[in-house]
Amino acid sequence: MRIGMPLSYSESFVEVVDQLPDYRRAGLSIVYVAEAYSFDAVSQLGFIAAKVPDLEIASNILPIYTRTPALLAMTAAGLDHVSGGRFTLGLGASGPQVIEGFHGVPYDAPIGRTREIIGICRQIWRRERLEHTGKHYTMPLEGGTGLGKPLKLINHPVRERIPILIAAMGPKNVELAAELAEGWAPFFFRPEGASEVWGDALAAGRSRRDEQLGELDVVVPVPVAIGEDVGPLIDFMRPQFALYLGGMGAKGKNFYHDLASRYGFEAEADRIQELYLAGRKEEAAAAVPGELLRSIGLVGPKGWVAERVSALHEAGVTTLSIQPLARTHEERVATIETLAGLLP
């Protein structure tokens, strides 16, 4: 088990990167940079690669609709080059509000597109001449000027098998990740209900998995605060969870709401969404069930956190992508150090 950390795409990004060497010494292994309708992740990942030369880096996620498959492959190879082989390509579908609303491209066939993109990326990283005829992508393009021809990547990648991480929650996407990717990033992961929600999909994907891919890296986001008096800090999680359950997607098209419902919190998720979409965000945050928050976080006394870490490990989690609920840099360093000492 190892410790990772997502980095916010906020204005304080450069300041946070300056703190990463301290986190690395405390036990941090990898950082993840998201990309929404924000600063792009790629420029920031390159900045981290230069500033912290012994830390792994990953996109989590680059949306599959906003770049061509070849550009995704080129970008991954470039980041892997400047980092000396420390990059993981995190891919995901994002959601229709961002893809259609911000980028203006259709949100369609996420599973089929992801499958083709993975194959195309690996073909490019092997420096094969790119020829692909699929349902969603064809290279060289049919029609057009007629001048397109199969090309191969000019540069020699550091690795021809750059790890791929798939952010997925739905059964078919999870099955795809377990079959084709080196890593899987779920959300709202509860060790008590994970097998019921995702077990069949993981088993189906693993039954077709190439043994060369190795063990599936299961990357789970967890808020963390360790101590006897940290219980109230769980309230800091409420606005974020209200946003995900209530505001990340339209009614009937919110993946996070659906997942909470599958965990048994359907009525609560409906209420949160109703309040959030009505603009009553504080009430929505207050309505997030404490049981849900506690079950997906590591917030409590050291002994209790150790038990939860063991439960996550037994449920197949290999990387804890932590959000330290701490007010200062020194407290965040101490949190990482303490957690690192609890890992199996």
For residues 8 and 332, which has the higher predicted lDDT (pLDDT)? 332
Based on the fold, state whether residues 174 and 149 are members of the same structural domain. Answer: yes
Domain that holds residue 250: 229-300
Average pLDDT over residues 180-199: 94
Token pair 């919110």 in the structure block, residue: 254
Average pLDDT over residues 192-199: 92
Instruction: Identify the top-confidence range among 104-108, 169-173, 189-193.
Output: 104-108
Average pLDDT over residues 219-229: 95
pLDDT value for 189: 94
Q: Indicate whether 342 pLDDT > 90.
A: yes
Average pLDDT over residues 117-122: 98
Percentage of the chain surpassing pLDDT 70? 100
What's the rounded Cα separation, in Å, for the pair 42 and 226?
33
**How many other C-beta atoms lie within 10 A of the C-beta of residue 130?**
18
Based on the fold, state whether residues 156 and 296 are members of the same structural domain. Answer: no
H-type alpha helices, the chain: 13-26, 41-51, 69-82, 96-101, 110-125, 171-180, 194-206, 238-242, 255-262, 266-277, 281-286, 290-296, 302-314, 329-340
Q: Give the pLDDT band (50/70/90) at residue 231.
A: confident
Based on the fold, state whether residues 120 and 235 are members of the same structural domain. Answer: no
pLDDT value for 338: 98
**For residue 317, which of 201, 180, 195, 205 has the smallest C-alpha distance?**
195
What's the rounded Cα separation, in Å, for the pair 269 and 127?
47
Based on the fold, state whether residues 87 and 21 are members of the same structural domain. Answer: yes
**For residue 289, which of 242, 340, 330, 219 has the smallest C-alpha distance?**
242
Q: Indicate whether 272 pLDDT > 90.
A: yes
pLDDT value for 234: 86
Q: Indicate whether 248 pLDDT > 90.
A: no
Query: CB pairs under 8 A, 24+ apart, for 286-291?
Result: 286/238, 287/242, 288/237, 288/238, 288/241, 288/242, 288/245, 289/265, 290/234
Q: Indicate whether 250 pLDDT > 90.
A: no
Q: Give the pLDDT band (50/70/90) at residue 253.
A: confident
pLDDT value for 95: 86
Based on the fold, state whether residues 295 and 306 are members of the same structural domain. Answer: no
Q: Classify 279 in phi/psi space as left (phi over 0), alpha (psi -120 to 50) or beta.
A: left
Based on the fold, state whether residues 69 and 197 are members of the same structural domain. Answer: yes
**How many other C-beta atoms lie within 10 A of the C-beta of residue 132?**
17
Q: Give the pLDDT band (50/70/90) at residue 312.
A: very high
Q: Give the pLDDT band (50/70/90) at residue 97.
A: confident
Based on the fold, state whether residues 150 and 121 are members of the same structural domain. Answer: yes
For residue 136, which phi and psi values (nearest 5 degrees)? -115, -25
Length of the chain: 344
pLDDT value for 179: 98
Q: Give the pLDDT band (50/70/90) at residue 162.
A: very high
**Cβ atoms of 47 and 55 closer than 8 Å:** no
What's the rounded Cα separation, in Å, for the pair 24 and 336?
9
Task: Give the DSSP letter string of 18-31.
Answer: HHHHHHHHHTEEEE
Based on the fold, state whether residues 140 and 217 are members of the same structural domain. Answer: yes
Based on the fold, state whether residues 74 and 118 are members of the same structural domain. Answer: yes
pLDDT value for 10: 72
Task: Work out the mean pLDDT of the chain and round it to a whole number.
Answer: 95
- Which CATH number does the domain housing residue 317 bear? 3.20.20.30
Based on the fold, state whether residues 145 and 113 are members of the same structural domain. Answer: yes
Q: Indicate whether 125 pLDDT > 80.
A: yes
Name the least confident of 37-46, 160-169, 226-235.
Answer: 226-235
Q: At a CB cut-off of 8 Å and minimum separation 6, what does 142 contact?
A: none
Based on the fold, state whether residues 171 and 234 are members of the same structural domain. Answer: no
Helix, strand, coil percentages for the chain (3-state, nearest 5): 45, 15, 35
Based on the fold, state whether residues 293 and 316 are members of the same structural domain. Answer: no
- Output the six-digit token pair for 27: 């036990």
Q: Indicate whether 193 pLDDT > 90.
A: no
Q: What is the pTM of this model?
A: 0.94
Domain count, the chain: 2
